[in-house]
């Protein structure tokens, strides 16, 4: 058995290494690829993806997984968790016919190109027929896992193991009831943020962001920070977790918040137990758990008063012309201004979940056949008005704003909102556990928070199913959206 297990681990490590090479092809594509090399790189990505798929679904791997019984290993052991995870993934992957995989690949490649054109023309109708085909294929994909209570469940499960549409509805219900009202109330407050709309030197913003993430605990010996159009985090193993960010001269805190957000993802990966490296357990417990870490550092930390108490003097010093006459309190209020707007990625803490719920409801409508793809733009605009009181100026900043649907990523969006909720729960657990947490942060002692997260969240990687991990941290298995609402109301009532 030990020999078989070692054989299995070698196969799994090989797949891990090839995935790392694939991730490097993709990282380099965003960061350093020469303009003329796009086609060559696309071919390389396709080829390597094919090799990885073949190895991940190989009969040899399947036989080893079959032979080894999770129950033969101690409860709570890494071996048992690894076998369970491998069984789950292998079974799921092998249920999908190769033909459907390649149809999806071709359809989404075409759809992505159409989405780019539609955005340029600000015309959703150019994208609608492609979306209809994707929805059809995603329905077929989901049906492979029938019976399921909702057609949405198997899709959601790809990102959030075990999560269901019914559970989502339960979790989102209080948000739907309270968040829109809260936003309307907060958005009426007078704004004083003109000083944020001056020009801020990009290199200085980047340098400041670099200093901050270093202070938060990001390990540059096992990572890098580079510039890209869209910020992201990628990992080539636990010793190489890279983040990227973007700089906008006229959005002075956007670079910082993006970098801290990605840093939150990276701290998670850098904190995983090295014993799990080169296995599928060497990643976050789920997409929502991953997002809980990026959002916690971005919102509960980098949009907080304690954070700016510590960092504002340095920030002000970097931008004396723009901020010399701006007090910490004015600055803090400006950074936390609530402005319902069209664009999800620029949304503040109070409005963010509304963007997600809108997308979730539309995805569900598309997949259940209640909303034809051809009519999606109208539904989008109506919901935007209902939830945020905003009507998009054009499809480009409306229904076409996100890339996800063009790539076939249905079931992904809800993990963003779940991440916010889990983040608030973990934040509460940290406040209960770490004495004087906020005072420590205001003194620049970010290590206390990182150590809490390392011990309670990060080190476990994907060893536990999300509800089990949540219970270990918070004492409750199911996600509790009330804690997020309480946090939000508390924060804004003090502003």
Residues belonging to the binding site are 261, 265, 291
Contact residue for its own copies among 1, 6, 32, 389 (CB under 8 A): 32
In the complex, minimum distance from the CB of residue 98 to its own copies, in angstroms, rounded to a whole number: 16
Give yes or no for residue 37 binding its own copies (CB under 8 A).
yes
Residues numbered 261-280 forming contacts with its own copies, rule: CB under 8 A: 277-278
Site string for its own copies, 417-456 (x = CB under 8 A): ----------------------------------------
- Identify the helix (H) or strand (E) that includes residue 437: helix 437-442
Q: Which of 450, 473, 471 is nearest to 301 (CA)?
A: 450
Q: Which residues pair with 20 in a beta bridge?
A: none
Site string for its own copies, 12-31 (x = CB under 8 A): -xx--xx-xxx-xx--x---
Give yes or no for residue 6 binding its own copies (CB under 8 A).
no
Q: What is the dihedral of CA 279, 27, 406, 229, to 10 degrees?
A: 140
In the complex, minimum distance from the CB of residue 203 to its own copies, in angstroms, rounded to a whole number: 15
In the complex, minimum distance from the CB of residue 11 to its own copies, in angstroms, rounded to a whole number: 11
In the complex, minimum distance from the CB of residue 81 to its own copies, in angstroms, rounded to a whole number: 22
Contact 338/199 with Cβ under 8 angstroms?
no
Identify the active-site residue in 262, 342, 363, 465.
262
Contact residue for its own copies among 9, 41, 88, 330 (CB under 8 A): 41
Residue 344 CB burial class (10 angstroms; 0-12, 13-18, ≥19): middle
- Residue 225 backbone dihedrals phi, psi, to 5 degrees: -125, 120
Alpha helices in 122-229 (DSSP H): 128-143, 153-159, 165-187, 202-216
Helix (H, G, I), strand (E, B) or coil at 68: coil
Q: Which residues pair with 235 in a beta bridge?
A: 241
Distance of CA 427 to the CA centre of its chain: 17
Contact residue for its own copies among 185, 239, 391, 478 (CB under 8 A): 239
- Supply angle C-alpha 395, 399, 403, rounded to 5: 110
- Supply angle C-alpha 423, 240, 48, rounded to 5: 105
In the complex, minimum distance from the CB of residue 101 to its own copies, in angstroms, rounded to a whole number: 17
Give yes or no for residue 219 binding its own copies (CB under 8 A).
yes
194 CB-near residues (< 8 Å, 6+ apart): none
Judged by CB under 8 A, how many residues of this single chain contact its own copies? Answer: 40
Give yes or no for residue 240 binding its own copies (CB under 8 A).
yes
Give yes or no for residue 34 binding its own copies (CB under 8 A).
yes
Contact residue for its own copies among 95, 177, 224, 476 (CB under 8 A): 224
Contact residue for its own copies among 2, 35, 59, 194 (CB under 8 A): 35
DSSP state of 337: -
How many Å apart are CA 367 and CA 260, to the nearest integer?
Answer: 35
- 425 part of the active site: no
DSSP state of 195: G
DSSP state of 160: S
In the complex, minimum distance from the CB of residue 35 to its own copies, in angstroms, rounded to a whole number: 5
Task: Please list the active-site residues.
Answer: 262
Residues that bind its own copies (CB under 8 A): 13-14, 17-18, 20-22, 24-25, 28, 32-37, 39-41, 43-44, 46-48, 50-51, 219-224, 236-240, 242, 277-278
């Amino acid at each position: 058995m030990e020999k078989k297990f070692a054989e299995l681990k070698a196969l799994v490590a090989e797949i891990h290494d090839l995935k790392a090479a694939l991730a490097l092809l993709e990282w380099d594509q965003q960061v350093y690829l020469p303009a003329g090399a796009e086609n060559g790189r696309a071919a390389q990505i396709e080829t390597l993806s094919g090799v990885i798929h073949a190895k991940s679904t190989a009969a040899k791997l399947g036989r080893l997984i079959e032979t080894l019984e999770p129950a033969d290993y101690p409860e709570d052991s890494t071996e048992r968790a690894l076998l369970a995870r491998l069984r789950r993934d292998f079974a799921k992957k092998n249920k999908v016919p190769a033909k459907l995989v390649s149809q999806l690949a071709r359809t989404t490649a075409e759809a992505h190109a159409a989405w780019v054109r539609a955005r340029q023309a600000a015309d959703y109708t150019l994208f609608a027929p492609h979306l209809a085909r994707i929805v059809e294929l995603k329905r077929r994909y989901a049906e492979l896992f029938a019976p399921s209570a909702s057609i949405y469940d198997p899709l959601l499960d790809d990102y959030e193991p075990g999560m269901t549409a019914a559970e989502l509805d339960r979790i989102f219900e209080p948000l739907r009831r309270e968040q829109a009202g809260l936003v309307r109330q907060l958005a009426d407050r007078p704004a004083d943020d003109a000083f944020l709309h001056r020009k801020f030197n990009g290199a200085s913003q980047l340098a400041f962001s670099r200093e901050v993430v270093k202070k938060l605990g990001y390990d540059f010996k096992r990572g890098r920070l580079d510039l890209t159009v869209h910020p992201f985090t990628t990992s080539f193993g636990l010793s190489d977790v890279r983040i990227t960010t973007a700089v906008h001269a006229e959005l002075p805190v956007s670079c910082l918040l993006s970098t801290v957000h990605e840093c939150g993802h990276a701290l998670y990966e850098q904190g995983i137990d090295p014993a799990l490296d080169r296995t599928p357990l060497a990643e976050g417990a789920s997409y929502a758990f991953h997002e809980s870490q990026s959002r916690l550092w971005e919102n509960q930390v980098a949009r907080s008063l304690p954070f700016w108490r510590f960092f504002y003097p340095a920030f002000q010093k970097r931008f004396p012309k723009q901020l010399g006459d701006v007090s910490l309190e004015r600055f803090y209020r400006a950074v936390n201004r609530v402005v319902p707007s069209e664009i999800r990625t620029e949304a503040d803490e109070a409005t963010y979940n509304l963007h997600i719920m809108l997308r979730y409801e539309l995805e569900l409508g598309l997949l259940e056949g209640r909303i034809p793809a051809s009519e999606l733009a109208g539904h989008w605009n109506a919901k935007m008005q209902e939830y945020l009181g905003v009507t998009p100026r054009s499809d480009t900043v409306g229904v076409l704003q996100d890339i996800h649907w063009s790539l076939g990523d249905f079931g992904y969006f809800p993990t963003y909102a779940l991440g916010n909720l889990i983040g608030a729960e973990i934040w509460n657990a940290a406040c209960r556990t770490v004495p004087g947490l906020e005072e420590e942060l205001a003194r620049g002692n970010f290590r206390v928070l990182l150590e809490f997260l390392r011990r309670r969240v990060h080190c476990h990687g994907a060893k536990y199913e999300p509800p089990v991990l949540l219970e270990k941290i918070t004492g409750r298995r199911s996600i509790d959206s009330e804690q997020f609402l309480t946090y939000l109301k508390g924060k804004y009532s003090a502003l």
